[in-house]
Structure 1
Amino acid sequence: MLHPLIIYRYKQAIRGKLLPKKKYAAIHNAAKANLPEACRYLGAGYLTGSFGGGIFSIESAHYWLKKATDLGDVPAWYWRARLALITQNIESESLNFVPGLPKISIGDIPAGLDAAIKFCKYGQDLGDDAAKHLRLRLLYMRAGENTDYAITILHEAANNNQSWAMIELAERCLQDDERAAYSKGRARNSTMYWLSRAAPQTENQNGKYHLLMAKAMEQGIFPKSSTNFRQHLKCAAEAQIPEAWFRYGVFLLKADRDGLNAEAWLRKAADAGYSDAAATLGDWITMGCPDISDEIGISWYMKAITMGHVGTMLHISRMIMIGKYSKIEIHEAKAWLREIINSGKYEPYVEEAKLIMLTMENKNLSRSR
């Protein structure tokens, strides 16, 4: 039987009434005395690095979480699932194993998606909602995003009031995927339904939600006001989404004429590999900034091209054809045009690429330096 003082100190600890070192000691003592929820609390702490002076220890987390489930603690199955997901990305022994526990090898700890799903199923069968919701998300990951089974899982998760699933369904509705539509509705109308349902749970916490709201406003699904549109783009950009960096940068450039802030967001998107942002910087600097050297704009164009931006390949080729951008070799432009023509990936642009190539050859543009 647990000593009453151990239980009392444990309850003080989890209520935040003890200093960090005393809090850890109280929880640790309760776990050693086989209090199931204390074992879970301690294991989760080692998994997140929130106890023991910030120690992150896979082995110690496994020891205490397994002990918690062995003692009948239901919520610990959710944490064991999270541990399995983290362990699959650990290639070697973690360095912070806590002395005093049996030595455990990482190879002996259940790891990977299947193990995590299994642990979630145990928790779900015992009535734990957190395990149930995580299991749906993991099943979705395993199913593959565009399969019918994945869409079925999204609908099940949405019916369980999971905002992440509503947001995923809204994104598919924006792409006219009728499988994502609500009940017997159509995809376009269902976009508003899913985003409206997700809104109370997300607000400023989910960048993807805000990006989809901005896109829905652009498509006329939601009423568009400049203030709301800006706010959604800003929230999405601040959530570190490269596409949102690009869209917010373009908005600042066109709607606000705020070139300085626009350039910062566009640079950020371009540096993250978003080719449209690099192309936009090239356009803005070469065509809208007479006080900035064209060389800087051209360097952004070239960056967009290295990222495979077909529109920029065609634009620069046209400029070379009429005698501009003389520092770019003609053979470079021809190589881009051949890539567009021969790759089979850029069908809408092939005819224009052929026309530019033919014009170049007819004019015998063969500069060599």
Structure 2
Amino acid sequence: RERDLTGWMSLSRKPEETWYGWDGDRLTTVQTQQTRIQTVYQPGSFTPLLRIETENGEQAKARHRSLAEVLQEDTGVTLPAELAVMLGRLERELRQGSVSEESQQWLAQCGLTAEQMAAQLEAEYIPERKLHLYHCDHRGLPLALISPEGETAWQGEYDEWGNLLGEESAQHLQQSLRLPGQQYDEESGLYYNRNRYYDPLQGRYITQDPIGLRGEWNLYKYPLNPVRFIDSLGLKFHVNGDPSDFNQAVEYLKQDSQMKETIDFLSSSEETINIEYIEGTNVRFNSNNMAIYWNSRASLFCSTELNSKSQSPALGLGHEFAHAQYYLLDKENFMALLSRTDKKYENKEEARVITIIESRAAKTLGECTRGAHSGLPFYRVDGPLQTMKITGTPE
């Protein structure tokens, strides 16, 4: 948009196009006519770690013809698709400096050597890139961009609801990431949250929750305590603390189709599921306050025998997801199963979850299955997806 001398604003005659690239629900690439900005995130979360900026001119220099293209264009012969695939594999091996025995054999059959083919490769150009590390708060909101030399290239100050109060950048960098999952839209002043738009001035969404009343009666609400909670997708699930371990566990569990159905059900339920991190081993679902208490470092062994393996903390979270889903589906029967004792699994609800849901997910994920509920030892691991093996008496 442009203003004339009278102050009249009109559309600019210089249209600009911006292309966006996504990895699942995370914005990873922003491409304009001048530059490409790529973002690397902390695994399993919406917290940005690294910003990579490449000028379009540098990208153009990095383009080169593939080995198959070189041979086709230089000889004027169209290569069969199968041969083009073989040449593509050979090119990757040549550039990595290690040619497989299979490639050497078919080259020899053609009377060629790897050295002759390497001479046909076009040189690779490594484009110049500007790298900056993100410094974020406990929610994943970017506070600063740090250069490899340790200098602050950009810094911003926000209020609790994500309003940008001020920013400084000696290099005139534009930093558009806001609260986890949000992208600043310059034209509207709103934050795009993948599923809808968020207005930081109001501290609420301006478009309805796409899942409707399954979310809850207030279709526009953002977490009422934005210092503790985030809503990275514009949907539901409140994590008390850093959501990285939780998000990583959820993505891991979704590899099992039944677990994915359970997670999708909870994400769109009328109830808000609160995830509370704990230090001990009393991992549980509490139906009174709709909370799951979870230790992302507590790994549960499948038996007490030597060389027994343990289940990941993520699978323990999936176990509690299964309890929460059944409670929401059939509260009366859920309570009835809890009250009925079981010799192996303590009660019938634990037997249902362990033998039907947990065991299936464990097999899908390549983890061990257990034949009991109580009396099994926990052990501390370094991450939500880790397992271990008993090589002696567990601590």
Q: TM-score, normalised by structure 2?
A: 0.30
User: Which structure is higher in RCO with an 8 Å CA cutoff and minimum separation 6?
Assistant: 2
